Amino acid sequence: MDWITISNAIKALDWATLSNIAVVISAMFLVWQLAEMRRTTQAQAFSVAVEHLQEERVRQARQTVFQLKGKPLESWSSEELRSAEVVCHTYDAIGQMVRHKLLSKKIIVSSWGPSLRRSWPIVRSLVEKYRREFDAVEYWDDYEWLANKAQKAKERWDTEK
């Protein structure tokens, strides 16, 4: 190929079209890059959530709460109350992360759904008491929201069977 042929080929190029193709390719790369950043952020958030949820103190608190089923709130010991508060604080923080899309609702609900569904009815009376005492309806509301999502997911799964 000689220089005249190359020169004629360059002159024949439609630079506007080439420019548009470059913009489209750049936009596609940007979308891919943003998706990867979001995936990385969610992976990091999930790692933090798992760390908190699997921490021995939190696991023990959940076990204590599960043993409170059917026991009236008025008869809970101070240790049992502290355990319930740990569970509420932990699940509320996870609920905030899910609600603000830092964590995948599907992953959390499919992994901790049974624990959420079991623990929420047990601690509900404590949450309601604190909401009245502090005049704060938002007290641990993200935990309640997450437990409700876990319940709805179970109902959906049950109807699919």
pLDDT of residue 5: 81
* Structural domain boundaries, residue 82: 3-160
* Calpha distance 81→123 (Å, rounded): 9
**Which CA distances in Å does 14 have to 2, 9, 20, 21, 23?**
21, 10, 10, 11, 15
Residue 11's identity, in one-letter code, is: K
State pTM to two decimals: 0.77
Structurally, the chain folds into a number of domains equal to 1
The predicted-structure confidence for 36-74, as pLDDT tens digits, reads as follows: 888 888 888 888 889 999 999 999 999 999 999 999 999
The predicted-structure confidence for 125-157, as pLDDT tens digits, reads as follows: 999 999 999 999 999 999 999 999 999 998 888
pLDDT of residue 87: 98
* Calpha distance 94→143 (Å, rounded): 8
Confidence of residue 8 (pLDDT cuts 50, 70, 90): confident
The predicted-structure confidence for 84-122, as pLDDT tens digits, reads as follows: 999 999 999 999 999 998 899 999 999 999 999 999 999
pLDDT of residue 10: 67
Residue 1, pLDDT above cutoff 80: no
The two tokens of residue 134 are 């502090």
For residues 3-26, give the mean pLDDT: 75
* Calpha distance 23→28 (Å, rounded): 9
Residue 78, pLDDT above cutoff 80: yes
